[in-house]
Each structure stands twice: as C-alpha cells, then as structure tokens.
C-alpha cells in the first residue's frame, strides 16, 4: 500500500501541493486527473522519491521513497512524459538496464515490442517520438515492477498505438502491481483506468472506483434536459447530463463529463465521495 498523508510541496515560494492525502493499493490502475498546473507530475515524482515533500509523509509499504533505497528502487518504475533517446539498439538497452530490476523479463520485453509493432534492433536515437515512447513502455512493463508511475504515457502515440497500449497495460501487469497514470487524454484510457483520482492543488477531490462514481452520480444520455443536472453537454442526437443518483440506477460513467462535473461543482461532488 502507498499511503500519503497531508503532503505539501513548493517550488521556492510557489506552493504546488497542499494537504494531499490518499491511499493507493495493489491491483489497481489509477487514473490521475486534474487541471493544468495542479501538480500531477509533481505528485508522481514525489511518490517515486525524485522530490522531497515540504511537509507530510509518503509511506510505500513501510518505506520512504525519498530515501532512494535499492530495495524500493528495484520495485518501482517512473515513466516521464518526455523520454530520452539512447545511442543503443532497443534490444541492447533493455538487456543492459533490465539488470537493475530483479524481475526483469527479456522475453516479455520482446513480446510487448512485437505487440506494439516495434523492431528491437532499431537504435533508439533513430526513432520517432512515438516509437521511442513505445519502446520505453515495453521496457517498463518488462521490468515487472510493483509500483508504476506513468506521466501521460499515450502522448505522442498514434491511434493504433493507443489501442496497443491499452491492451499491453492490462495484459502485462498483474494484481501485485499498483499503477498510477497521469493523463489529460481520458478517452485514450477510459476503459483501462479505475479508480479515478481527481487532484486539486489544495486537496484530493475524488479517489473513487467507477462503481462508486456510478452509485453516486447518474449519467444520462437522453435528450430531455433536467433541472437538477450538475453538468450538461450537447452531443449529436441529444446530450450528456450528470446529476445525483437519487434512484440508485446504473449508468455508464463518462470520464470527461465526470471531470467537468467535479470541476464545476467541487463543493457539491466532494462530499459525495468522502470516505
């Protein structure tokens, strides 16, 4: 379990995060959502120990990630939005660097490379941005880490590659892994991420499963506008509306509509998901 309590962080005199508390458990692929500048990337780098909190604490199964102890480093993988080209073939890079992760599986690396239609013999510094991102994703999954922190992993991927990523992230990670994916592209990952975390600079607004979201809010895809709708968006053939699920009916969660609902009615929505 990863437990964050009253976390705060600043860049100099500029506060970025304040009073952030949440718990993350294995077996989940968390979607980390939030407006630009609320600190999603900063939170990921704090979780993996690349930055030190100004105050508060992060506990990863009894360990502080900022201690940077090998016992934890070999169990985690941070994939930044912008990945580095390397003067090496993908195959050689993976073999050399995979030794840092005890559970690295080279056969798995080659299998995921094949799924994402990548050539392991290709040099990484000769790849396009999308090809380079896919190679790093393949390597990350082959490391068989327990904790994954991925920042905008579908950025730079074309439409077929996004579908391949969705298949890979679900097929090649297991219940022992805990994955946090920061994204602005919720449609790219709508069928993958669950639970959903919505971050505000001052607090975590929501940390809830899709089942919980559906039990609290109803997503109406009809054409009749409701007076109690918290959010409404016109779409071809009608509209999407979100309103309190007073009748406890089932509906399919639309993550974009849910995020916009939370953004527009923080004071209303947050108490619905208070643990």
Bridge partners, 150 (sequence order): 79, 181
N residues, the chain:
275
pLDDT at 223: 79
Q: Above 90 in pLDDT, residue 77?
A: yes
Could you tell me if 139 and 28 are in contact, meaning their C-beta atoms sit under 8 angstroms apart? no
Q: Give 184's pLDDT tier (boundaries 50, 70, 90).
A: confident
Q: Which pLDDT tens digit goes with each residue over 252-267?
A: 999 999 999 999 999 8
What is the SS3 assignment for the chain?
A: CEEEEEEEEEECCEEEEEEEEEEECCCCEEEEECCCCCCHHHHHHHHCCCCCCCEEEEEECCECHHHCCHHHHCCEEEECCCCCCCCCEHHHHHHHHHHHCCCCCHHHHHHHHHHCCCCCCCEHHHCCHHHHHHHHHHHHHHCCCCEEEEECCCCCCCHHHHHHHHHHHHHCCCCCCEEEEECCCHHHHCCCCECEEEEECCEEEEEECHHHHHHHEEEECCCCCCCCCCEEEEECCEEEEEEECCCCCCCCCCHHHHHHHHHHCHHHHHHHHCC
Q: Which pLDDT tens digit goes with each residue over 32-46?
A: 999 988 999 999 999
Domains of the chain: 2-207 (3.40.50.300), 209-273 (no CATH)
Q: Give 216's pLDDT tier (boundaries 50, 70, 90).
A: very high
pLDDT at 219: 95
pLDDT at 275: 65
pLDDT at 103: 97
Average pLDDT, the chain: 94
Q: How far, in Å, CA of 245 to CA of 212, rounded?
A: 11
Q: What is the pTM of this model?
A: 0.94
Q: Which pLDDT tens digit goes with each residue over 94-143?
A: 999 999 999 999 999 999 999 999 999 999 999 999 999 999 999 999 99
CA distances from 17 to 36, 164, 262 (A): 13, 33, 18
Q: Which pLDDT tens digit goes with each residue over 137-164?
A: 999 999 999 999 999 999 999 999 999 9
pLDDT at 237: 77
Which among 35, 41, 38 has a CA at the least distance from the CA of 152?
41
Q: Give 17's pLDDT tier (boundaries 50, 70, 90).
A: very high
Q: Give 78's pLDDT tier (boundaries 50, 70, 90).
A: very high
pLDDT at 212: 95
Q: Above 90 in pLDDT, residue 227?
A: no
> In the chain, pLDDT over 90 holds for what percent of residues?
82
- Please, what sign has the CA dihedral across residues 64, 65, 66, 71? positive
Q: Above 80 in pLDDT, residue 85?
A: yes
Residue with tokens 């860049």: 11
CA atoms within a 13 Å half-sphere pointing along the CA-CB vector of 75 = 18
Q: How far apart are the first and last CA of the chain?
A: 17
Out of 136-140, 220-224, 269-273, pick the least confident.
Answer: 220-224
Q: Above 90 in pLDDT, residue 247?
A: no
Q: Give 168's pLDDT tier (boundaries 50, 70, 90).
A: very high
Contacts of 41 (CB under 8 A, 6+ apart): 80, 81, 151, 182
Neighbours of 37 (CB within 10 A): 10
Could you tell me if 144 and 75 are in contact, meaning their C-beta atoms sit under 8 angstroms apart? no
């Amino acid at each position: 379990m990863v437990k964050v309590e009253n976390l705060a962080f600043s860049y100099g005199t500029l506060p970025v995060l304040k009073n952030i508390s949440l718990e993350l458990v294995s077996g989940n692929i968390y979607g980390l959502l939030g407006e630009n500048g609320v600190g999603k990337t900063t939170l990921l780098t704090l979780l993996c120990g690349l930055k030190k909190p100004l105050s508060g604490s992060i506990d990863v199964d009894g360990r502080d990630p900022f201690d940077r102890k090998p016992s934890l480093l070999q169990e985690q993988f941070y994939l930044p939005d912008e990945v580095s080209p390397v003067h090496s073939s993908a195959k050689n890079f993976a073999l050399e660097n995979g030794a840092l992760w005890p559970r690295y599986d080279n056969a798995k690396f080659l299998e995921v490379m094949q799924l994402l239609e990548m050539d392991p013999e290709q040099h990484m510094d000769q790849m396009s941005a999308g090809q380079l991102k896919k190679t790093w994703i393949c390597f990350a999954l082959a490391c068989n880490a327990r904790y994954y922190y991925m920042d905008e992993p579908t950025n730079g991927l074309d439409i077929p590659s996004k579908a391949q990523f969705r298949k890979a992230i679900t097929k090649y990670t297991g219940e022992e892994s805990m994955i946090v994916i920061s994204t602005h592209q919720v449609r790219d990952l709508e069928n993958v991420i669950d639970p959903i975390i919505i971050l505000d600079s001052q607090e975590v607004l929501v940390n809830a499963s899709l089942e919980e979201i559906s039990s609290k809010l109803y997503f109406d895809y009809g054409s009749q506008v409701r007076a109690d709708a918290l959010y409404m968006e016109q779409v071809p053939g009608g509209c999407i509306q979100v309103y309190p699920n007073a009748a406890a009916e089932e509906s399919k969660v639309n993550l974009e509509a849910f995020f916009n609902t939370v953004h527009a009615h923080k004071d209303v929505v947050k108490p619905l998901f208070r643990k």
